[in-house]
Structure 1
Amino acid sequence: MRIGAFLLAAQFPGRDHTSVLESTLAAAVAAERAGFDDVWLAEHHFMSYGVCPSAVTMAGFVLGRTERIGVGTATSVLSTQHPVALAEQANLLDQLSGGRFRLGVGRGGPWVDLEVFGTGLERYERGFPESLEVLLAALRGGRMRADGATFGFREVEIVPGPRTRPHPPVVVAATSDSTLELAARLGLPMLLGMDRVPAEHAARIAAHDRAAEAAGHGRAGHVLASLAHVADTREQARKVVLDALPRWLGPGLAGYVPVDGRARAPKDPREYARFLCDAHAVDSPQGCVERLVEQARTSGAAELILMVEAAGEPAAVLENVTRLGAEVLPAVRAALD
């Protein structure tokens, strides 16, 4: 059981971009010291929900500041960038890090990003399968060409090729049935979000595994995101999260602006914060262990990545990372390994 830290570069009220990004880097370095296996970095545009617009760039910086820990993107959005350019960057990080880089990709959403970057709604609504297949071909290195509806180019040599064969590890954020089926057909594991309970994730993993088997692939090692905040008691942990999280979620979630004016019903920040506390590991050390073990066993996920920034304040986040590493992770591993 691999356990990673999930960093959104969340901008809580009263903090500037420099403070957020510096504390995100500090949390990543602290995660290595605390014994996490990986650190995963989110990518967002034009919003305070997360102020890292390039997870790959941030991953490169974190790889340079660490020695052991795996570093992944959760996720790099394919609908707003060229898949070959992303593959070149991923292979470069794979080479220079000695194979510590992992590439998480997603379709993204129908947001204003599509307008700003000029890729358009068509790339989001119908272009993801082609984008993902071009990405995988480029990640393998060597010579390739494309003759698709969106990407068409003459044969070129992809340099550098990957250090990890056949390509750096890839996971796919799958919130829809169509993306689940695509990941299964390509033999890729899913990255599952924090907005569902373990039984729902179990059903999605089972559906993926059936489709993957039908396509001739073995069982994939799926990655499950979970919020984790530890304190001396459950009451203390919940108070910290319920006080801090809505202040970030309110303006953060409002940053998702549809590109085409479609109606959108945003989550209520207080209700969503309560759901996250109820569904995830917000508890005493022993309570966090029990919840994380239950999430892993019920869902069938092979890896957990823990969103550790719910307290908001940099010192509190670092304390949470340290305590999770010392008081929670060893017991979770012992129970699951």
Structure 2
Amino acid sequence: MQFGLFMMPLHPPYRSFADCYDRDTDQLVLADRLGFREAWLGEHLTERWENAPAPDLLIAKALALTEHLRLGTGVTLLALHHPVYLAHRLAMLDHMARGRFQWGIGGGGIPTDLAIFGMDASQPSDVRARSAEVLDVVLKLWASEGKFSYHGRFFDIDAPEMDDVKERGYYMKPYQLPHPPIAVAASTPASASIRMAGERGWIPMTSSLLSRPYLKGHWELIAEGAASAGREADRSQWRIARDVFVAPTPSLARDRARAVLGRNYVQHQLPNRAGSIQINSTKIDPAMPDEAVDVDYLMENVWIVGDPQECADKIRQLYEACGGFGTLLSITADSDDASWDHDSLRLLIEEVGPRVADLS
């Protein structure tokens, strides 16, 4: 089993932006040294707790400070971008990464992200259509030779053919051909996105929000999508994200998780998820009332919290519940004492990893 990071990122609003980005960078550098396989960095423009409007900038900085860690967007919110600019920025980033870049994609965004671009979250079909068109343009632009034209519902694009005398025209292609590995994140049980990942042979990533009973359903969608395209789904490509907090003892792990993961949940996530499908997705039993989804419930049933042996047991339980997966993505945390976060990452690799090394 491989280990990676999913950096939403989550930062309390009292943390300065500069300190947030320094903390994120420190964790990425540590992850590289410890041997984490990859890290995915989130994107939001209007989410104060997830203050990452330009993850490619943080990725570019981290690339210069790491050697092996693969870095990716987690995810690019397609509807918020102009495809020509996006294609160029990502291709340039891929060259800077020399093959260590992965492109995570997602549709839409939170309502306030959409609103700042003049889009209406109450019209999800329009947002999905725009996202699909952005993706289509980027991939076709990267694959094109010579003059490129695209005339769709949202974009009219005419990219000029390269003039060999003036050396002007469309020329930028990614470093990894035909394009960087593409990953699709999914946070709902009946996700069309996760099925598309299987169909197109892309990396499927299951959100940390889904409790164990829903994981088999995600794999079934991945396999169904792959079968529709005449291929066999590969479990080693499947990423599952989880909030993880490891400490030397079970009691210390719970104390720290309550202070950090509990703070994130009570102050940020719960107010935004109340009454939503996201709350229902975290329930082991669908009949549970929403108010039962509290910090104690999450700590024992959804999050991976404990000493190294307890966390290894919970990872094994997760693995067996869904039939196997390739990479566990640990959601990064931002404790007031940064050493807690660093200890958790170190223990996950050095103490938990060996205990689940047989899972492959």
Query: What TM-score, normalized to structure 2?
Result: 0.82
Quick check: 2:181–2:203 contact (8 Å CA) kept in 1?
Answer: no
SS in 2 for 1:128: helix
Deviations 1:213-266 (A, max 9, x none): 112344152221111111122232122112222323344337869xxxxx9699
Amino acid at match of 2:299: C
How big is the alpha-carbon RMSD for the aligned residues of Structure 1 and Structure 2?
2.8
1:184, CA displacement in angstroms? 3.6
1:280, CA displacement in angstroms? 2.8
Q: Paired residues, what number?
A: 331
1:276 aligns with 2:298: yes
Cα distance in structure 1, aligned partners of 2:35 and 2:332: 14
Q: Which residue of 2 is the match for residue 161 of structure 1?
A: 173
Report the CA distance shift for 1:286/1:97 in structure 2 as closer, same or farther (over 3 A).
same
Q: Which residue of 1 is the match for residue 349 of structure 2?
A: 325
1:213 aligns with 2:217: no
Quick check: 2:246–2:253 contact (8 Å CA) kept in 1?
Answer: yes
Q: Which residue of 2 is the match for residue 97 of structure 1?
A: 97
Question: Higher relative contact order by CA 8 Å / sep ≥ 6: 1 or 2?
Answer: 1
- What are the within-5 Å matches in structure 2 for residues 41-190 of structure 1? 41-121=41-121, 123-140=126-143, 142-143=145-146, 144-156=148-160, 159-176=171-188, 177-190=191-204
> Is 139-148 or 188-197 further displaced after alignment?
139-148
Amino acid at match of 1:247: R
1:293, CA displacement in angstroms? 3.1
Cα distance in structure 2, aligned partners of 1:120 and 1:141: 32
Quick check: 1:88–1:139 contact (8 Å CA) kept in 2?
Answer: no
Q: Percent identity?
A: 25
Cα distance in structure 2, aligned partners of 1:223 and 1:6: 10
Quick check: 2:209–2:278 contact (8 Å CA) kept in 1?
Answer: no
- What are the within-5 Å matches in structure 2 for residues 249-260 of structure 1? 249-253=265-269
Report the CA distance shift for 1:29/1:316 in structure 2 as closer, same or farther (over 3 A).
same
Cα distance in structure 2, aligned partners of 1:15 and 1:8: 15
For structure 2, the 5+ residue unaligned runs are: 162-169, 280-289
1:145, CA displacement in angstroms? 2.9
Cα distance in structure 1, aligned partners of 2:89 and 2:56: 7
SS in 1 for 2:111: coil
Cα distance in structure 1, aligned partners of 2:75 and 2:223: 22
Report the CA distance shift for 1:297/1:264 in structure 2 as closer, same or farther (over 3 A).
closer
> Is 192-201 or 179-188 further displaced after alignment?
179-188
Quick check: 1:229–1:310 contact (8 Å CA) kept in 2?
Answer: no
Quick check: 2:94–2:176 contact (8 Å CA) kept in 1?
Answer: yes
Quick check: 1:141–1:160 contact (8 Å CA) kept in 2?
Answer: no
Query: What TM-score, normalized to structure 1?
Result: 0.87
Report the CA distance shift for 1:137/1:251 in structure 2 as closer, same or farther (over 3 A).
farther
SS in 2 for 1:103: strand
SS in 2 for 1:74: strand
1:293 aligns with 2:297: no
> Is 68-77 or 198-207 further displaced after alignment?
198-207
Quick check: 1:9–1:21 contact (8 Å CA) kept in 2?
Answer: no
SS in 2 for 1:320: helix
Report the CA distance shift for 1:308/1:153 in structure 2 as closer, same or farther (over 3 A).
closer
Cα distance in structure 2, aligned partners of 1:266 and 1:49: 18
Structure with greater Cα Rg: 2
Quick check: 1:147–1:153 contact (8 Å CA) kept in 2?
Answer: yes
Cα distance in structure 1, aligned partners of 2:248 and 2:119: 48
